[in-house]
Structure 1
Amino acid sequence: MPKVGMEPIRRQALISAAIEAIHARGSFEVTMSEIARQAGVSTALAHHYFGSKDQLIVATMRHLLDELNGEIVAALRTARTPRERITGIIRANFGSDQFRPATISAWLTFYVKAQSMGGARRVLSIYARRLRSNLRHALSQLTDKESAKRIAEGTAAMIDGLYLRHALLDSDPDREAAIRLTEDYIDAQLAAGTS
């Protein structure tokens, strides 16, 4: 008979194992058996909790998105100015839990999988809309509406591009360099709009 309260612990272990297994394999071609073994549970139990590998992958994406959203909300709560809000959003996107090799590999795999899996596409669509909306809201307090939209799109593309670049490098990602580069882009765009 299973212990009461073990399900959330095992579900989290499987989600963490999925991230690590995808990173180790370098692709989505990891099996549910490999993920279960990494989590220290049986394959049958993994199927019991998630049904299929695709459902586990979508749950993993949602988990990462929930973590990211929590970091963004915390950053926005402490920001006093629109520019601090933007910095908070950027720092959260390059947070130490998000911008680490295994999580970067997982996000890259999710982007690829979203092309053929509706659940993954929906999760990534939520992420993209939320990122652009948060950026546009803060930027609209610093510049006109059209410029805010354009800068938000460019910033979102830069964040995604930096994830892609670091997924393809053999070195550890430099989160502070990624933050500086993104901040520099925003500062240059805002300065160009005021000159």
Structure 2
Amino acid sequence: MSPGLVNHYFDGKEDLLEATLRRLTRDLALEIRRLTPKEPSPLDRLHAIIDGCLQPDQLRPGAALAWRAFWAQLPVHPRLAALQRTVNRRFRSNICWALAQLIPREQVAETYLGLYAMIDGFWIRQFIDPDSFQMDDARRICRAYLRRAVEGNVQCPERRAKGPPVAARAATLNKAPGLHDHSG
């Protein structure tokens, strides 16, 4: 795109990157919602997040270039960095909320961080060498990590009833380091 077109429609490169990121994150949120069943379990929500984030369409060449350009600008553009923090907060909130339904709360932050690092790692690996793995394998590996984290830790209803309310657990998880709102 020529600088003239960018300046005609946007107030510079930063505005173009912000609009592009908003579009990409909206598309990702819509894809995750599409993949989420009508009455999802916490595990269904987590699978939809994994599957949505690791859809080949999310890393098509144009989108991949936009993400890379955006991430490269974060250190020098506070407005873009603030937008990324908002995206990370929503992502963390959704994953941690679902995890808190499945595993003891003291394991949620670490499990979240592992899953988040895996998803980001697959994105970066895809940017570097798109032929190094298949996205189906990435989704399978993330689901296997999640399955191992949950196996043996599934909270029984009695344990859940004795612990703090779900909302209180989710609020404490927002202090951990992380697309769409889990409430809808």
* Runs of 4+ with deviation above 6 angstroms: none
Map 1:65-80 to 2 at 5 A.
65-78=25-38, 80=40
In structure 1, C-alpha distance between the alignment counterparts of 2:20 and 2:87, rounded to whole Å: 14
In structure 2, C-alpha distance between the alignment counterparts of 1:78 and 1:95, rounded to whole Å: 20
CA contact (8 A) 2:102 2:153 kept: no
The answer on 1:146 being equivalent to 2:106 is yes
Residues 98 and 172 of structure 1: CA distance in aligned 2, closer, same or farther (over 3 Å):
farther
CA contact (8 A) 1:143 1:193 kept: yes
Q: What is the Cα-based RMSD across aligned positions, in Å? A: 2.1
Cα offsets for 1:105-127 (capped at 9, x unmatched):
32233222112111221222122
Percent of residue pairs bearing the same amino acid type:
29
Normalized against structure 2, the TM-score is what?
0.74
- SS of the residue corresponding to residue 54 of structure 1 reads helix
Give the unaligned 5+ runs of structure 1.
1-34, 37-42
Which residue number in structure 2 is paired with residue 156 of structure 1?
116
In structure 2, C-alpha distance between the alignment counterparts of 1:124 and 1:68, rounded to whole Å: 14
Which residue number in structure 1 is paired with residue 67 of structure 2?
107
CA contact (8 A) 2:37 2:44 kept: no
- SS of the residue corresponding to residue 97 of structure 1 reads helix
How far off is 1:191 after superposition? 2.4
Give the unaligned 5+ runs of structure 2.
155-184
**Higher RCO (C-alpha under 8 Å, 6+ residues apart):** 2
The answer on 1:178 being equivalent to 2:138 is yes
Structure 2 counterpart of 1:58, which letter? Answer: E
Which residue number in structure 2 is paired with residue 83 of structure 1?
43
In structure 2, C-alpha distance between the alignment counterparts of 1:105 and 1:46, rounded to whole Å: 16
Which residue number in structure 1 is paired with residue 127 of structure 2?
167
Normalized against structure 1, the TM-score is what?
0.70
Cα offsets for 1:32-82 (capped at 9, x unmatched):
xxx14xxxxxx5343121121121011111110111112223333535321
Residues 172 and 123 of structure 1: CA distance in aligned 2, closer, same or farther (over 3 Å):
farther
What is the total number of aligned residue pairs between the two structures? 154
